[in-house]
Structure 1
Amino acid sequence: MSAQRYCDNCNSVLHGEFCHHCGQEKKSYIRNVSGVVTEFFGEFSNWDTRLWRTLIPLWFRPGFLSRRYVSGHRVPYVPPLRLYLFTSIIAFLIFAKLMPQQAIEVSAVASDPELIVLETKDGADITLAELLKQTQTELQQVPGLPNNSAVPIYINDEHSQHTLALPFISEQAQQRLNERFAAVVANPKLAVNKFFSLAPQMMFLLLPLFALLLKLLYVRSDRYYMEHLIVALHSHSFILQFSVLYLALGLLRQSISWSWLATVVGWLETAVLCWIPLYLLLCQKFYYRQRWGKTLLKFWLTSSVYNLLFISAVIGLIVLSILWA
């Protein structure tokens, strides 16, 4: 007959490995080095198995992980919050390394954007007016984004050689922004590093807003807010992972000298880009299980509002990166 065991915390009689009174596990963390190393590799192997069991359906089965988690099947998979935090940290570190470091120098200063010529490292010249026009065109191509959602940003030489004028901030803030912008022009890497250090926090703040948007659109589904938050965590983990893949494929295609192989990589790049919005649409369809008409309408509303929030947050983050660089 085995001796009676007691909880080390509250001294209650144990009927298993966990105390029924305080919940503490009957386990000693004071042990020799070999025991710690053995436990570490055991936990790492178990986490690695759960990771791949999570990533495959995350990539190719929209809404599957969210349905499984909500229905109670949680042990075989990495928890959604842990998965997102791990993905966010790794993704933004990779973004900072993979983003092309293309310096832009102003070779002429004038208040007319047609007279400001921007020269890149590869020797290409482009006027500021052309650059702004291209940016506006790209923003208008974002699905569901209103045509007038772009915030006007322009170069001004009234007070300094390098100033950035924003119409929605105060005069004092504008002066401080101009000072910081001049420093950033001299060393753009400072603002880039600050942007990618703040970007994970920005994305984490957008998560509950995305879940709240789903809650409002599916208010008649009688789902709790946490159920929508699970969808948001899985969706954002997928978006970050495939954004890294898309950027990596683009850089790989540019570095390949064989045209046929570059073409194949380009097809994969296009497929990844198309799969991201299609995945999000199928995720809403398979998770909420409504008719296609309602799903398409709610997906359009979700993407429109969220894209507007995202672009506004990015613009604000750029300004903060300049101010805090």
Structure 2
Amino acid sequence: MHNPIRHAGHAVEEFFEAFWHLDGRLFRTLRDLVLPGRVAINYLAGHRARYIAPLRLFVVLSLLTFFIGSAAVHIEEGAVDVEGIEAITSAGTVEEVERVRDRMVGDIERARTAAGNTPGVMPSLVAAEVRIRGAAANRVVELGGRPKPGAAGADAGAPPAGPEGLQFNMLGHRGEWNARDNPVVVGWWPGFANDWLNRKIGNLEMNMRSLDSASADTWLQAVMSAAPSALFLLVPVFALLLKVAYLFTRRLYLEHLVVALYSHVFLLIMLSLAFVLSVLDGLVASTTANTLLGLGMAAVLLWMPLYLLLMQKRVYGQAWWLTLLKYLVLGFIYFMMLATATVLVFLARMTTA
């Protein structure tokens, strides 16, 4: 009688066999992705065993790019006096919170002056100040007070004193929002839903004001880190746009979805590379290295639209003038949708405490 239970050695052998098989498919997929349209054309032609399925590859790269993008704007714990943060969160009075905050901000100001223009130092100091101010403001609110500017340069990025804040003229709300005195109230929502909405608005205001003192590069990286999530959401929309643009080619929607998935796989790889180049540019101090990294970033940004144009031409095989026309129309529509989705995802993240 055949025993279905295998010994441990056979299990290890099967594991490595599966791993090397996946590794081979991964290598072939990435290799053929270098040439615009090759993977999509071969996959649609039935040569599927040699490649990783587009949906699986897209999901994995979406997660990987998301974490790379998050790491690119991550505030390092070492850049902040952790004991000072703990002192803020454990303070028992508003005055004590403000004393600790002012002391820590003063230390950062002195470090900023001493650092001068040293590459890679300034962004971490700005991020540290943002985190300190955010922790202090949250603790003040917890203690029943209202955040107000401190003495040690706290005006930059500090939440305002009094009712000054976000303006809302929607859902029946008028004037400047304030959670206590002038909250947003949706009449047909239950109380807990309105409480949730105002907590989100408060988090958004606090985080946006905390980022006021951040550099333009920090803002750009923060927004761009939301791009992988936006790309993930828009893949089926892009496939639908392809279906409409190539309606008379008699291709099924799922075929356009394969093209959309492999297009976005390429975009995610390029976006990850852009994140890495951006981080390296902030860490190195060599002028030559910074120049090379800048050229690399420019090459990435130029290759992305050119690659997609070549891919669209090779997959659908239409005349250049028609391909270019459809590419420009689709590209404009999709770029506007992607920019809007990226900003919305970024704002949604900013509503978290």
Q: Same fold (TM over 0.5)?
A: yes
Amino acid corresponding to residue 48 of structure 1 in structure 2: D
- Tell me whether 1:76 sits opposite 2:53 in the alignment: no
State, as a whole percentage, how many aligned pairs show the same letter. 34
C-alpha offsets along residues 248-283 of structure 1, whole Å, 9 cap, x if unaligned? 123223333332233223222211111011101111
Q: Which residue of 2 aligns with 1:91?
A: 65
| 1:164 counterpart letter in structure 2 | L
Q: What is the 5 A alignment of 1:130-149?
A: none
Label 1:43 to 1:195 Cα distance change in 2 as closer, same or farther (>3 A).
Answer: farther
Q: TM-score, normalised by structure 2?
A: 0.61
Q: Tell which has more relative contact order, 1 or 2 (C-alpha 8 A, sep 6+).
A: 2
SS at match of 2:166: strand
The letter for the 2-side match of 1:84 is F
Corresponding letter in the other structure for 2:16: F
1:164 equivalent in alignment to 2:166: yes
Q: Which residue in 2 is equivalent to 1:287?
A: 315
Q: CA deviation at 1:202?
A: 4.2
Structure 1, residues 261-319: CA drift from partner, whole Å, max 9, x if none? 33223222211111011101111111111111111111111111111211222232233
The answer for the alignment partner of 2:41 in structure 1 is 67
* One-letter amino acid of the structure 2 residue matched with residue 219 of structure 1: L
Q: Per the alignment, do residues 216 and 309 of structure 1 end up closer, same or farther by CA in structure 2, a change over 3 Å counting?
A: same
The answer to which structure has the higher helix fraction is 2
Aligned residues: 250
Of the three residues 300, 320, 327, the one matched with 1:272 is: 300
Q: Residues 229-258 of structure 1, C-alpha deviation per residue, up to 9 Å, x if partnerless?
A: 001100111101111111212322333333
Q: How does 1:132-281 map to 2 (within 5 A)?
A: 160-161=163-164, 163-165=165-167, 171=173, 172=184, 175-184=198-207, 202-281=230-309
Name stretches of at least 5 consecutive residues in structure 2 with no aligned partner.
80-104, 106-121, 127-158, 174-183, 186-196, 212-221
Q: Residues 182 and 61 (structure 1 numbering): CA distance in 2 closer, same or farther, change over 3 Å?
A: same
Q: Is the 8 A contact 2:203 2:350 kept in 1?
A: yes
Kept in 1, the 8 Å contact 2:69–2:225? The answer is no
Q: Which residue identity lines up with residue 72 of structure 1 in the other structure?
A: G
Counterpart position of 2:25: 50
| Contact kept? 1:164, 1:177, Cα under 8 Å | no
Structure 1 unaligned segments of length 5 or more: list them: 6-26, 108-118, 124-155, 189-193
**TM-score using structure 1 length:** 0.66
Which one of 328, 338, 341 corresponds to residue 300 of structure 1? 328
Q: From the superposition, tell whether residues 54 and 302 of structure 1 become closer, same or farther in structure 2 (CA, over 3 Å).
A: same
* Cα distance between partner residues in 2 of 1:304 and 1:200: 19
- Give 3-state SS (helix, strand or coil) of 1:234's partner: helix
The answer (yes or no) to whether the contact 1:92–1:196 under 8 Å persists in 2 is: no
Q: Secondary structure at the match of 2:351?
A: helix
The RMSD of aligned alpha carbons is 3.7
